[in-house]
Structure 1
């Protein structure tokens, strides 16, 4: 499996996907910087509410286009390799890139911490960045499937557009767990003390209930594994058109 991961990473050498690892968090930090005293809270909030879903969507589309655009996967389907492992490696490499971006965001937030008036504790910030990555992993196999089926427009509209609407509709309700797009933002209410609208949650706010953290983690990991298995099996049955 390691060779598949290395090959997939090598294919991305010099591509815009690698640049996105840095560009996406920097854009988020610039937006957060423009908010002044709420730099930390708004940087985190903009990241998982708006920018990260779009980033994952674009990354998935570009990953698909590398093999789809010129040869329509002929260079992959014609080789004596495991198509299931090829797909899993694509998902995992994108997951690694996304995690790096979350860490870059975290470093940027710490570097800009002099703007803080109501600082987020360092441990909470580290935990928040890590949990954002973990609870967003399920979007990667979903977006890669959508990218192969619907292309750029369909993937972005569904994951970043419809996903944001579903997030806003469910995150503050008791049924938040039904919408996967609400899991990250609901967990951040407890971990970072940031409400979905970007405001800081007061002490005693019911949205800060820490019980949502293990629930959200279990649901996210389970959905990621399920989507990874289903989409890998689907990809294994694909043929060159």
Structure 2
């Protein structure tokens, strides 16, 4: 049944900005990386600049934009488009969450492809393609740590508005990514999970530089597995929590 809801949600965004962002966001990251490298920022290299800017803060901003576009479809009609339908609003919210997650996954896979190509262009050696699995898996794991933000931002967008949710996400992502991600406290602040995983998977610090010496910031296999489990559980709990809230919110409106 959920597949039917997901198909219905997907049809709403055919030939819209929601779909086009799958290409626009990677293109923007490429442009940012080129600009940064041209002025001497992001000395770790092009692929390091891509993953660093993605984790802090472009990924969070992308989620805010995607969530706003999804919410806006119903809000601009004051929810009249779903009042008359015999549907389960919990499933509607869950399908919206899954649709955004799939779009985010496509963006992540495209970024992994860009990183692979950039490594090949820099090294001039086909051996760069040996790291295909490494980049794909790395970006997919980063994607997992971002999933919890989707239901939260769907909620935040309705409560604080687009500008408000963007400012909140920018502040929290910057604070968590630049400061808390390098401390043991990162476990208790979800906005720092992606940055800490980036350090572990790609050996890139939030400032765009490569990790030098020591491995204090690198999570062990057990810690990395725990972070994946915690991220997924948080995403599932928030999705069902806000799905219940969404049903009541729509009926009140």
Contact 1:189 1:207 in 2 (8 A): yes
Shift of the alpha carbon at 1:122? 3.5
Matches within 5 A, 1:1-241: 1-34=2-35, 35=37, 38-69=45-76, 71-113=77-119, 114-115=121-122, 121-210=131-220, 211-238=222-249, 239=251, 241=253
Q: Which runs of 4+ in 1 moved over 4 A?
A: none
Gaps of 5+ in 2: 39-43
Deviations, residues 25-68 of structure 1 (Å, cap 9, x unaligned): 11112222342770011111101111111010011011100110
The CA deviation at 1:147 is: 1.1
| Gap runs ≥5 in structure 1 | none
Aligned residues: 239
The answer (yes or no) to whether the contact 2:9–2:95 under 8 Å persists in 1 is yes
Q: Note the alpha carbon deviations across 1:113-163, whole angstroms, 9 max, x for none.
A: 21359x794433222110111110110000000111221111111122333
Of the structure 1 ranges 3-12 and 37-46, higher mean CA displacement relative to structure 2 is found in 37-46
Whole-angstrom distance in 1 between the partners of 2:241 and 2:59: 23
CA contact (8 A) 2:56 2:195 kept: yes
TM-score normalised by L of structure 1: 0.93
Deviation at 1:240, TM superposition (A): 5.1
